Amino acid sequence: MFSGHSLGFPVTLKRGPEPQLCLQDMHFGGVPVRLYLPRPRVPSAALRPAIIFFHGGGWIYCSIDSHDNICRYIARESGSVVVSVGYRLAPEHKYPAAYEDCLHATVHFMRNAEHYGVDSAQISVCGDSAGGNLAAAVSQTLAGRADLPRLRAQILIYPGLQAVDMDLPSYQQNRGVPLLLRERAAFFALLYLHGDASHKQDVLKGHHVSPEMRQKYKKWVSPNNIPERFKARGYNPQKTRDITAEIFKKFERISEPSLCPLLAEDAVIQQLPESFILTCEYDVLRDDGLLYKKRLEDNGVPVTWCHLEDGFHAIISFYDYGWLSFPSGKRGLDRVVQFIKGL
């Protein structure tokens, strides 16, 4: 579902020392992480909040380094400790490897928060694109854990949250809009799930979902749940699909919430922490965010929503790339910081 260097994703820029931050590379249970620790202006014993960050890149691209500028900005501007997680990438490491790495790193940090000067009651998860998918999945997994502190919030930046329907209005309207084309969204999802994209056309045509599965999830994954104003740029309802039982079996795992968080049961959604969701108008994943916003609100979870009317997928990664910078990307990132500071 997601962005990467092959789509023009910003190249990694080598950055020098950060006067306001102390950066530390280490491993949490074998998972590489980078800590961004704000330097206090005056010595203080007060514990800080923390953000555990999962980078985007379609589960197959990008790294701690590619999102270094975003993590520095969040840590510096919010005064939070940021932990950026370098999870394993597909296709070499298929689902659920990335999810498991993010979960293990999060649990490790939560159990050792005070060692890093962090208040264990003020830890949030955050991610962009595929990282937003991973943040949502980790948040759901931890929602019912009695042996760990409750997450303070989840921050989902243009997340991809389902693979049941890639013909929602945003997929139709933005099918050819950079940086994430509709076909590339299916390609990335398949590499994460299967390690190859041989069934891309089946996914794009909706042949991969059985009638029973579609019926079960249509209450959550449906254009009827998307406000009409988001259909104004055009939407043609789906036609009857071909039925291919052999294909269904290959996609049974898309019902797992750790892969498609939008499909979690209400009993899980109700336990989720306060949430921030950022969507972009010119993004195939826009409607995933809108549908999850509705599910959270329907289940009583407070949601702060930021919609960038002139935004496109991965725009936040361009917030400080000189002539490639986009003001709305900076605006979106500042809304994330504002939300964090208000927790």
Distance CA 161, CA 184 (A): 15
Mean pLDDT of 63-73: 97
Q: Which of 193-197, 229-233, 248-252, 280-284 has the lowest mean pLDDT?
A: 248-252
Please tell me whether residue 137 adopts helix, strand or coil conformation.
helix
pLDDT bracket for residue 7 (50, 70, 90) = very low
- How would you list the strands of the sheet with 118-128, edge to edge? 21-28, 31-38, 81-85, 48-54, 118-128, 153-157, 274-282, 303-312
Q: Measured between alpha carbons, how far is 286 from 294 in angstroms, rounded to an integer?
A: 13
Pairing status of strand 81-85 against strand 274-282:
unpaired
Minimum mean pLDDT range among 14-28, 125-139, 170-184: 14-28
pLDDT value at residue 40: 85
User: Would you list the domain boundaries of the chain?
Assistant: 21-162+258-342
Element (H, E) at 54: strand 48-54
pLDDT of residue 241: 72
**What's the predicted TM-score (pTM) here?**
0.95
Q: Give the pLDDT of residue 65.
A: 97
User: How would residue 53 be classed by pLDDT, with cut points 50, 70 and 90?
Assistant: very high
Of 4-18, 183-197, 309-323, give the lowest mean pLDDT range: 4-18
- pLDDT of 84 strictly over 60: yes
Q: Which of 86-95, 142-151, 245-254, 281-290 has the lowest mean pLDDT?
A: 245-254
Amino acid present at 91 = P
Give residue-wise pLDDT tens across range 130-143: 999 999 999 999 99
Of 65-79, 103-117, 232-246, the one with minimum mean pLDDT is 232-246
As a whole number, mean pLDDT of residues 333-342 equals 98
Across 37-62, average pLDDT: 92
pLDDT at residue 22 in the model:
96
- Residue 11 confidence (pLDDT): 47
Which residues are annotated as catalytic? 129, 283, 313
Candidates 75, 35, 53; CA nearest to 126 is 53
Percent of the chain topping pLDDT 70: 95
Can you say whether the dihedral through the CA atoms of 63, 67, 69, 72 is positive or negative? negative
Q: Are 310 and 297 in contact (CB under 8 A)?
A: no
Q: Binning pLDDT at 50, 70 and 90, where does residue 13 land?
A: low
Q: What is the DSSP letter of 307?
A: E
The class level of CATH for 21-162+258-342 reads alpha beta
On the question of pLDDT at 201 being above 90, the answer is yes
Where is pLDDT greater, at 3 or 237? Answer: 237
Across the range 172-184, mean pLDDT stands at: 97
| Residue 15 pLDDT greater than 90, yes or no | no
Per-residue pLDDT of 220-259, as tens digits, reads: 999 999 999 999 999 998 876 777 788 999 999 999 999 9
Confidence class for position 100, pLDDT limits 50, 70, 90: very high
* pLDDT level of residue 14 (50, 70, 90 thresholds): low
- What is the Cα–Cα distance from 197 to 204, expressed in whole angstroms? 11
Find the angle CA(21)-CA(22)-CA(27) to the nearest 5 degrees: 130
Confidence at residue 16, expressed as pLDDT on a 0 to 100 scale: 74
pLDDT for residue 217 is more than 70:
yes
